[in-house]
Chain A
Amino acid sequence: MMELVCPAGTPAALRAAVDAGAHTVYCGFANETNARNFPGLNFSAQELAEGVAYAAARGARVLVAINTFPRAGDQAIWHRAVAEARAAGAHAVILADLGLIAHAAEAHPDLRLHLSVQAAANPDAINFYAETFGIRRVVLPRVLTVEEITAINREIDVETEVFVFGGLCVMAEGRCSLSSYATGLSPNMNGVCSPASHVVYGEVGGQNEARLGGFLIHRRPKGAPAPYPTLCKGCFTAPATATGAAQTGHLFEDPVSLDATELIPRLRRAGVTALKIEGRQRSRAYVAQVVRAFRAAVEAVEAGAPLPSGLLAKLTEGQAATTGAYAKTWR
């Protein structure tokens, strides 16, 4: 059966994921070492150890994302995170930074290493990481087609993990500077894309608006569905040019979420080992519902039965879903 890798932002969400049928749960420490460094979220070393024990007692495993890029001269927090993940009994750590990977491979040679999507690695780079540091799995970015994933799997000799549900990052992950441009903080260095500290909601002329770092991201009628305000999914007006009229719309990407349920059989044939659900910032209710639905889906694929579908639309950002780049025509 394909492995289901599920998010947990809190110990309660970890238990919910395991109870709902997650094979593997990923989480992070409550600091800037992971790319979901949001207020009120994440784990202490003790909570992680308790989570690993809870999962292990039920046949599940825990991965720890330490996938931001350490600041030069200030690597101690990241090194400590790797040591604490190993001490807690984590199955593997998910890393992005070359220096941190080198440190983990040297200081903890028995620790299983996964390459984060934040590393934005191509096949040559993946092979380099595997040969040099013993990386065992790579998380692929959400901008590839199924055919491209098939081709990558032919070129590399490590497991691949792909996103199948949740927030859809459309940029070169680990390289995107949009959040940094608007707020000075980024997922890559600070663990926050569009940090809540820079988000302001307001009401203007009977409409709700959301701003990020002062930039107006969207304005919608009161009570209408609205996504979290990120620059890449904002509604903007591009002025008229010599070649075209002014346009208002989601110029980078529509505020929709990824739902690749229907592509699971093709991803399996493409050689993908594990299916990843995004959403460490979401609640235990979300985790339980999504994990249960995807566990049913991977079991159906394994049994050759029809796929269940349409169960999760309400949980998606903007209340709409897409199969993303896996089967996409770019604008």
Chain B
Amino acid sequence: MTSPRPLPAALRRLPVPPLAPRLMGIALTALLRRIARRQPAILSRLGPHEAARFLIDVTDGPVLLLIEPRARRIAAHPRRREPAHDAAIRGRLAAFLAMLHGAEDGDALFFSGELQIGGDTSAVLALRNALDDAELDLAAELAAIAGRPFDRWLRRGADLLARRSGYVLSRQETSP
């Protein structure tokens, strides 16, 4: 693993303010819609699994995320109320970020037990393969949404945070 450190345990136990999941959902949905517009191949790779509901359980995070690709929607839910879903991926934030940014192989994370999957295995595979092909860069996407002059500050902040924390916050180049 690139970063074996989990998020601070206190974060998981923090009471989530009532409006926080809704605001997080709105922000993540905007991010998803931007990515879907720019990279429609993600959705075509999902094929019939575009209609699936994916539960993303960042086990060291404060909320559960439900991704609904067909509705172009991401919702955040309090941990105590797990939403209905078709497929689930569970693991620490570091593992999700490393897989999303091409720093770690999804199968290797799964074989090692760092990521666990449940529900519709086909849907999980389709999502993983679609995201891997998309070569996403979350820091770049967020910087683009932020616009000038915040984009440069955001990129610099993300680089600094990545160096200090070990979390993979942007796409890893595969070239030597």
| A283, B176: Cα distance in complex, Å | 17
Residues of A within 8 A of B49 (CB): 39-40
The answer to whether B122 and A223 have CB atoms under 8 Å apart is no
| A208, B115: Cα distance in complex, Å | 12
Say yes or no: A197-B172 contact (C-beta < 8 A), given A39-B49, A283-B106: no
In this complex, how many residues of chain A approach chain B with their Cβ under 8 Å: the count is: 45
The answer to whether B174 and A39 have CB atoms under 8 Å apart is no
A228 at the interface (CB under 8 A from B): yes
Residues of A within 8 A of B28 (CB): none
| A110, B99: Cα distance in complex, Å | 41
| A288, B106: Cα distance in complex, Å | 13
Which of B126, B129, B176 is within 8 Å of A21, CB to CB? B176
B130 at the interface (CB under 8 A from A): yes
| A226, B111: Cα distance in complex, Å | 5
Name B's interface SS.
Answer: helix
Say yes or no: A283-B116 contact (C-beta < 8 A), given A12-B132, A41-B129, A196-B125: no
| A317, B129: Cα distance in complex, Å | 18
Residues of A within 8 A of B172 (CB): 285
A247 at the interface (CB under 8 A from B): no
Which of B46, B105, B116, B134 is within 8 Å of A285, CB to CB? B105
- Segment of A84-92, A113-121, A155-163, A199-207 in the binding face: A199-207
| Whole-angstrom distance between the Cβ of A211 and the nearest chain B Cβ | 10
The answer to whether A314 and B108 have CB atoms under 8 Å apart is yes
| A–B pairs, 24, beta carbons within 8 Å | A10-B45, A12-B132, A12-B134, A16-B174, A19-B174, A20-B174, A38-B129, A39-B47, A40-B45, A40-B129, A40-B133, A208-B113, A208-B116, A222-B113, A223-B113, A226-B113, A283-B106, A283-B132, A284-B102, A284-B174, A287-B174, A292-B176, A315-B105, A319-B111
Residues 165-202 of chain A, each 1 if its beta carbon lies under 8 Å from chain B, else 0: 00000000000000000000000000000011101111
A13 at the interface (CB under 8 A from B): yes
Binding site for B on A (CB under 8 A): 9-13, 15-16, 19-21, 38-41, 195-197, 199-202, 208, 222-228, 281-289, 292, 314-319
| A316, B130: Cα distance in complex, Å | 22
Say yes or no: A201-B116 contact (C-beta < 8 A), given A12-B132, A40-B47: yes
Say yes or no: A201-B121 contact (C-beta < 8 A), given A40-B47, A224-B113, A286-B107: yes
| A9, B45: Cα distance in complex, Å | 12
B118 at the interface (CB under 8 A from A): yes
Residues of A within 8 A of B117 (CB): 201
Residues of B within 8 A of A196 (CB): 121-122, 124-125
- Total number of residue pairs linking A and B with CB closer than 8 Å: 115
Complex A-B, nearest 9 residue pairs according to Cβ-Cβ distance, in ascending order:
A40-B129, A40-B126, A39-B126, A10-B133, A288-B174, A286-B105, A16-B174, A199-B121, A196-B122
User: By CB atoms of chain B within 10 A, which of A223, A224, A314 has the most?
Assistant: A314
The answer to whether A10 and B129 have CB atoms under 8 Å apart is yes
| Whole-angstrom distance between the Cβ of A327 and the nearest chain B Cβ | 24
Residues of A within 8 A of B116 (CB): 201, 208
Residues of B within 8 A of A227 (CB): 111
| A282, B45: Cα distance in complex, Å | 15
Residues of A within 8 A of B118 (CB): 201-202
Say yes or no: A40-B175 contact (C-beta < 8 A), given A12-B135, A282-B105, A283-B105: no
B104 at the interface (CB under 8 A from A): yes
- B residues 20-73 near A (Cβ < 8 Å) are 45-47, 49
| A225, B117: Cα distance in complex, Å | 13
B103 at the interface (CB under 8 A from A): yes
The answer to whether A40 and B46 have CB atoms under 8 Å apart is yes
| A303, B5: Cα distance in complex, Å | 41
Q: In the complex, which residue of chain A has the Cβ closest to the Cβ of B105? A: A286
- B residues 121-164 near A (Cβ < 8 Å) are 121-130, 132-135
Residues of B within 8 A of A21 (CB): 176
| A155, B12: Cα distance in complex, Å | 65
Say yes or no: A285-B102 contact (C-beta < 8 A), given A20-B174, A201-B117, A292-B176: yes
| Whole-angstrom distance between the Cβ of B105 and the nearest chain A Cβ | 4
Known: A20-B174, A284-B102. 19 other contacts (CB 8 A): A12-B135, A21-B176, A39-B47, A39-B49, A40-B47, A40-B125, A41-B125, A195-B122, A196-B121, A196-B125, A201-B117, A202-B118, A208-B113, A223-B113, A225-B111, A285-B99, A285-B102, A285-B103, A287-B174
